[in-house]
């Protein structure tokens, strides 16, 4: 098993910031998290927030389908040539952590065909709490959980919750309906993550997305500095 993340913790961007022709490559941000937590919806919201100011593209990962990419295409969050689907054919974490070749090919193809790009969002297929991205694939990662998945998830930890560069707790609008204690989730997340940021988000209610977009802008500023 590849344990890189566990040893080195979050941070910093990988060294190869340049393409073979010397130009600066796009910042790659991975979005992972349990099935149905709101990864695709977060990608869509980020595209809407950032597309006017940045050149961006998306790679989605599904096991046997292209459903996430098809959703993004239907929603027209970006022109179709900026959205690529990888069919993983196996556990989603394999394609983002162990054999990242299909995803690397997808991001490089996007840069070749629609580049230059500022940002590529790589969405993992829904997985469990242990799924994280290889640092050879992305420069930073966002882990998306949701309040309906149980308010004990932050307390349970796992590398996504504890080490991701940003933890998003999504669907806060559902908390009263599913009996989740948001304050407890936020406190548990903070205890697990020390100084690493946590954002509470409701895509239904429209809150938190601007903060996630601001975090992406900060990463990008650091990447291109
Ligand atoms: N109430 C509520 N529903 C949400 C929110 N965000 C996403 N959803 C809904 O949750 C469902 C799953 O969202 P997706 O974005 O498809 O989740 P995902 O993590 O990409 O799912 P997989 O790719 O299947 O793992 C959809 O029906 C969304 O409309 C939110 O903030 N509040």
Question: What sign does the dihedral 6-200-224-221 (CA atoms) show?
Answer: negative
pLDDT digits (tens, 9 = 90+) for 123-158: 998 888 888 999 999 999 999 999 998 889 999 989
Give Cα 52 distance to the centre of its chain: 20
pLDDT at residue 170 above 90? Answer: yes
Residue nearest ligand 1's atom 4 by CA: 171
Please, which pLDDT band fits residue 4 given cuts at 50, 70 and 90?
Answer: very low
Pocket of ligand 1 contains residue 124 by CB under 6 Å: no
Residue 166 bridge partners (DSSP) = 142
CA–CA gap between residue 207 and residue 62 (Å, rounded)? 27
Contacts of 173 (CB under 8 A, 6+ apart): 202, 204, 205
pLDDT attached to residue 17: 78
Q: What spacing in Å lies between the alpha carbon of 37 and ligand 1's midpoint?
A: 5
Sketch out the chain's domains with CATH numbers.
25-224 (3.40.50.300)
Whole-number average pLDDT of the chain: 89
**Residue whose structure tokens are 């995803």:** 103
pLDDT digits (tens, 9 = 90+) for 58-110: 999 988 888 899 999 999 999 999 999 998 887 888 889 888 999 999 999 99
What does pTM read for this prediction? 0.91
Residues 168-174 have a mean pLDDT of 97
Please, which pLDDT band fits residue 1 given cuts at 50, 70 and 90?
Answer: very low
Pocket of ligand 1 contains residue 203 by CB under 6 Å: yes
pLDDT digits (tens, 9 = 90+) for 20-49: 777 789 999 999 999 999 999 999 999 999
Give Cα 83 distance to the centre of its chain: 15
Q: Does 40 belong to an annotated binding site?
A: yes
CA–CA gap between residue 177 and residue 99 (Å, rounded)? 40
CA–CA gap between residue 186 and residue 10 (Å, rounded)? 19
CA–CA gap between residue 196 and residue 155 (Å, rounded)? 15
* Nearest atom in ligand 1 to 205's CA: 31
Q: What spacing in Å lies between the alpha carbon of 14 and ligand 1's midpoint?
A: 30
Q: What spacing in Å lies between the alpha carbon of 53 and ligand 1's midpoint?
A: 25
Contacts of 221 (CB under 8 A, 6+ apart): none
Upper half-sphere CA count for residue 213 (Cβ side, 13 Å): 20
CA–CA gap between residue 131 and residue 104 (Å, rounded)? 18
Q: Does 65 belong to an annotated binding site?
A: no
Q: How many CB atoms lie within 10 A of CB 178?
A: 13
Q: What spacing in Å lies between the alpha carbon of 215 and ligand 1's midpoint?
A: 21
Pocket of ligand 1 contains residue 88 by CB under 6 Å: no
pLDDT at residue 186 above 50? Answer: yes
pLDDT attached to residue 53: 97
* Nearest atom in ligand 1 to 67's CA: 23
User: So what's the ipTM on this one?
Assistant: 0.99
pLDDT attached to residue 7: 32
Q: Does 216 belong to an annotated binding site?
A: no
Out of 30, 33, 36, mutate this one to test ligand 1's pocket (max ligand atoms within 8 Å of CB): namely 36
């Amino acid at each position: 098993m590849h344990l890189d993340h566990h040893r080195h913790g979050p941070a910093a961007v990988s060294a190869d910031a340049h393409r073979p022709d010397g130009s600066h490559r796009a910042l790659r941000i991975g979005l992972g998290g349990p099935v149905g937590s709101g990864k695709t919806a977060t990608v869509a919201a980020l595209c809407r927030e950032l597309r006017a100011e940045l050149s961006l593209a998306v790679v989605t990962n599904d096991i046997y389908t292209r459903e996430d990419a098809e959703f993004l295409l239907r929603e027209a969050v970006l022109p179709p040539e900026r959205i690529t689907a990888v069919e993983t054919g196996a556990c989603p974490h394999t394609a983002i952590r162990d054999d990242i070749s299909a995803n690397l090919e997808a991001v490089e193809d996007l840069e070749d065909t629609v580049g230059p790009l500022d940002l590529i969002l790589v969405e993992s297929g829904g997985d469990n709490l242990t799924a994280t991205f290889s640092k050879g694939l992305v420069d930073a990662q966002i882990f998306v959980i949701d309040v309906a998945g149980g308010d004990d998830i932050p307390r349970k930890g796992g590398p996504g919750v504890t080490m991701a560069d940003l933890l998003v707790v999504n669907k806060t609008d559902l908390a009263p309906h599913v009996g989740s204690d948001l304050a407890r989730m936020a406190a548990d997340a903070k205890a697990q993550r020390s100084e690493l940021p946590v954002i509470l988000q409701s895509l239904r209610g429209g809150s938190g997305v601007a903060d996630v977009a601001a975090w992406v802008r900060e990463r990008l500023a650091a990447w291109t500095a």
